[in-house]
Chains A and B, each alone.
Chain A
Amino acid sequence: MSEELTLTIIGGVDKDGVPEPVKFLEVSKGEIIGIVGPTGSGKSTLIDDIEQLAQGDTPTGRSILINGKKPDALTRVDPRKKLVAQLSQKMHFLADMTVADFLQMHARSRGKAPGLVDRVIELANTLTGEPISPDTYLTVLSGGQSRSLMTADIAVISDSPVVLIDEIENAGIKKQEALQLLAGEGKIVVVVTHDPVLALMASRRIVIRNGAMVDIITTSREEQDVCSRITQVDNWLMSLRETIRRGEIVEELA
């Protein structure tokens, strides 16, 4: 993963078929880019376009380039060659398999060693409350457990240079730890979020409205300062949440 990598989004049309204001966006290795906008505006649709490496063949008409070029057919479809890992908004698995069988099969589809399965489960259990065991059926996992497992699976098995993350804050798992795990080193990370901490952690954010990319905002110095201040508040909230979850009493008002 030491090679250069850029991801280019060529704009398409909004929900009414009108060309979207942002026509071109290039993201480089190591950058975290946010996607923000009202519910239903088309944030997930944008990362789906990136996941599929759309070539004008999705309803938005967008095209995605890798290193300035149209990706070849195998890069688009073969999991062994895929450049993109996606944590979608889906909160549940539908597959009727045990955790271990599923992960083994996924490792194989990505051309990875089966030994990674234990690491995935171990990592998932650092993000979730009640531990997941290898012989549990996927369909009985809770929403939070499923998201933890999906997160760990992406960090360890999918481990791709481009990582797409959809609303990680909504799963009741430790969002900053999860983001760190997924972001790794030198990746392109695209984060859909309604969370101010995560949005301001990004160096830029794409604003979506009515299906279109309407603006790109670069995080200013002031916003970075705000980000570190609200991170403290956020950490405090998280620790309170943990206290309450453990069934303990909240004692002091800091």
Chain B
Amino acid sequence: MKLVVLAGTPGSGKTSVLLHTIRTLVKSGKRPAVVKVDCLWTDDDQRFGKLGIPVHVGLAKDMCPDHFTIYNTDAMLDWGASNNADIVLNETAGLCLRCAPYPDECMAICVIDVTTGPNTPLKVGPLLTTADIVVMTKGDLVSQAEREVFRERVLDVNPSCMIIESNGLTGKGAFELAELISEGPEVRDNMVLRYNPPLAICSLCTGETRVAHKHHMGVLRQLDGFMEYRGE
């Protein structure tokens, strides 16, 4: 069984790219299945469903979607196995930007929208910096120079990644992506995360709703960047 974790900011083109990639995978005899994790709502399952492959949705609701993805990874793999899949493709919401839900033995793919400008790679954090493959989408909407500058910025923050310039509308890049996925690692037991989840738990995580600083405990970072520990 192979695991692909595909993450990226909302609307970056994850589903569009995956749809083309899945068609290529199926043509080459693979048996992919998709798990879509989102926060509140998604209709991606209907888009994937049209391809006639097994699809499952997980909604993280009030949990961090990346945390939700992480501790449900084995459940996804079991579900994939029981549906006779040999590749589980996990499209995540990727909203947190501090967590990255990539285990070590997976193909970690970050999808990033070129039209958001070349400062975006600096903002995305571990989602981008710890990915194996970075898929740049919507290059059809900017000039060649902008695509090249964006690419340079991606390599600044993740020098060892493979970059694929893809187009979610035409399917450009899907063939290369499918090839890389087919060559990706097999999952093993005892997978470990690539990146430490952020420091927790503050009192907001446990239900505090009052705003003022004096009501909060745990590890807190102040506006000037200084970290403190409040509590016992």
Contact = CB atoms under 8 A, between A and B. Distances in A.
B217 to A, nearest CB: 38
Interface in A199-221: none
Determine the interface band of chain A, counting residues with CB < 8 A from chain B. Answer: 20 to 34
B163 A77 contact: yes
A153 B145 contact: yes
Instruction: From B118, B145, B175, name the one whose CB has the most chain A CB atoms within 10 angstroms.
Output: B145
Interface stretch (A92-100, A123-131, A174-182, A232-240): A92-100
Interface of A is mostly: mixed
Interface of B is mostly: helix
B143 A93 contact: yes
B227 interface: no
Given A57-B175, A58-B172, A150-B143, A95 B118 contact: yes
A105 B146 contact: no
B142 A94 contact: yes
A94 B145 contact: no
B89 to A, nearest CB: 20
Interface residues of B, number: 23
Contacts of B118: 95-97, 102, 105
B223 interface: no
Interface stretch (B39-47, B148-156, B192-200): B148-156
Interface string B163-198: 101000011100100000000000000000000000
A97 B163 CA distance: 22
A48 B150 CA distance: 18
Interface in A153-186: 153-154, 157-158
Nearest to B162: A77
A57 B152 contact: no
A105 B152 contact: yes
Instruction: From B143, B146, B171, name the one whose CB has the most chain A CB atoms within 10 angstroms.
Output: B143
A108 interface: yes
Contact of B144 (A85, A97, A102): A85
Interface of B: 115, 117-119, 140-146, 148-153, 163, 165, 170-172, 175
Given A96-B118, A150-B145, 10 more contacts: A79-B148, A94-B117, A94-B141, A95-B142, A97-B119, A102-B118, A105-B149, A106-B149, A109-B149, A157-B145
